[in-house]
Amino acid sequence: MFHDRSTLTGTVIGNITASDSDGPQPLTFTIATDATSALVYLNNTRNVNSDTRAVDIVLKEILDRDYEPNDRNLYFTISDGSSEIPAKVRLFISDVNDNPPFFKNLPYKITVNESIPQGTVVYSGIKAFDPDNGRGGTVSYSMMVSTSTTGYNDADDGYRSTFTINQYDGTITLINALDYEKHTFYQFKVNAQDGDGLKAVPADFFVTVLDVQDTPPIFINLPYAQRVFENITAGTQVIQVAGIDQDRGIPNALSYSFIKGDYSKFAINSSTGWITLGPGQILDRDSADMSSNGGVFAMYVQATEIVPAGQMNYGTTTANALVTVTVADINDNAPVFSSSQYTARIMENMQGTNSHFSLTLEKSGRPYTDFTVIPQEVYSESTVLIQVNNSAVLDYEQTKQILFQVVARELETAERRSNTATVTLSIQDMNDNSPVFNASSYHLWVMENAAVGSRIGNIQATDMDSDSYGRITYSIRGGNGQFTVDPNTGVISLATSLDRETTSEYFLSAEAKDGGGLRTPVEIQITVTDDNDNAPLFSAAVDNDEPNTPNSIVRYRIAQTPPGLESNFTINSTSGEITLVRPLDYERLDPSMKGKITLNISAYDGGTPQKSSVISVQITVEDVNDYAPVFSPAFYAVQIMENSAEGLLIQATGMQ
Please tell me the predicted confidence (pLDDT) of residue 313: 78
The mean pLDDT of the chain is 85
Task: Name, in order, each residue with C-beta under 8 angstroms of 366's C-beta and a sequence gap of 6 or more.
Answer: none
Please tell me the predicted confidence (pLDDT) of residue 632: 65
DSSP 8-state secondary structure symbol assigned to residue 568: T
Q: Write down the CATH number for the domain with range 2-94.
A: 2.60.40.60
Across the range 557-581, mean pLDDT stands at 91
Across the range 472-500, mean pLDDT stands at 90
**CA–centroid distance for 5 within its chain:** 47
**At 648, is the secondary structure helix, strand, or coil?**
coil
Matching fold, domains 102-210 and 436-529: yes
Please tell me the predicted confidence (pLDDT) of residue 64: 72
Indicate the pLDDT class of residue 598, thresholds 50, 70 and 90: very high
Alpha carbon distance 245, 268 (integer Å): 19
Q: At residue 63, does pLDDT exceed 70? A: yes
Alpha carbon distance 576, 137 (integer Å): 12
Q: Is the dihedral of CA 234, 240, 243, 244 positive or negative?
A: positive
Q: At residue 637, does pLDDT exceed 80? A: no
Indicate the pLDDT class of residue 647, thresholds 50, 70 and 90: low
Check if the beta carbon of residue 628 is closer than 8 Å to that of residue 587.
Answer: no
Q: Is domain 102-210 classified as CATH 2.170.140.10?
A: no
Across the range 145-153, mean pLDDT stands at 53
Q: Is the dihedral of CA 585, 590, 594, 599 positive or negative?
A: negative
Alpha carbon distance 647, 364 (integer Å): 83
Burial 267-306 (b: 16+ CB within 10 A, else e): bbeeeebbbbbeeeeebbbeeeebeeeebebebbbbbbbe
Q: Where are the alpha helices (DSSP H) in 580-643?
A: none
Across the range 262-276, mean pLDDT stands at 95
Per-residue pLDDT of 439-459, as tens digits, reads: 999 999 999 999 999 999 999
Check if the beta carbon of residue 412 is closer than 8 Å to that of residue 353.
Answer: yes
Across the range 56-77, mean pLDDT stands at 83
Check if the beta carbon of residue 440 is closer than 8 Å to that of residue 523.
Answer: no
Q: At residue 367, does pLDDT exceed 90? A: yes
Q: At residue 219, does pLDDT exceed 90? A: yes
Across the range 359-382, mean pLDDT stands at 90
Per-residue pLDDT of 203-214, as tens digits, reads: 999 999 888 888
**Side chain identity, residue 333:** N
Check if the beta carbon of residue 401 is closer than 8 Å to that of residue 378.
Answer: no
Task: Name which residue leads in pLDDT, 128 or 315.
Answer: 128
Which pTM value belongs to this model? 0.38
Across the range 424-449, mean pLDDT stands at 90
- Can you name the CATH fold of 218-328? Immunoglobulin-like (2.60.40)
Q: Which of 513, 415, 421 is nearest to 469 (CA)?
A: 513
- Can you name the CATH fold of 341-428? Immunoglobulin-like (2.60.40)
Please tell me the predicted confidence (pLDDT) of residue 181: 78
Rg (CA), the chain: 44
Alpha carbon distance 557, 600 (integer Å): 9
φ, ψ at 35 (rounded to 5°): -65, -40
Q: At residue 231, does pLDDT exceed 60? A: yes
Please tell me the predicted confidence (pLDDT) of residue 152: 42
Right CATH for 436-529 from 3.40.50.720, 2.40.50.40, 3.40.47.10, 2.60.40.60: 2.60.40.60
Please tell me the predicted confidence (pLDDT) of residue 334: 81
Q: At residue 350, does pLDDT exceed 70? A: no
Q: What percent of the chain has pLDDT over 90?
A: 43
Parse the chain into domains and list their residue ranges: 2-94, 102-210, 218-328, 341-428, 436-529, 550-620
Across the range 327-347, mean pLDDT stands at 81
Per-residue pLDDT of 509-526, as tens digits, reads: 899 998 888 888 899 999
Indicate the pLDDT class of residue 269, thresholds 50, 70 and 90: very high
Per-residue pLDDT of 25-39, as tens digits, reads: 788 999 999 999 999
Please tell me the predicted confidence (pLDDT) of residue 656: 35
Q: At residue 73, does pLDDT exceed 80? A: yes
Homologous superfamily in CATH for domain 550-620: Cadherins (2.60.40.60)
Which residues share a beta bridge with 56? Answer: 15, 43
Q: Which of 73, 45, 42 is nearest to 58 (CA)?
A: 42
Q: At residue 369, does pLDDT exceed 80? A: yes
**At 509, is the secondary structure helix, strand, or coil?**
strand
How many helices (DSSP H) and strands (DSSP E) are in the chain?
A: 3, 48
Check if the beta carbon of residue 505 is closer than 8 Å to that of residue 525.
Answer: yes
Q: At residue 81, does pLDDT exceed 90? A: no
Please tell me the predicted confidence (pLDDT) of residue 539: 54
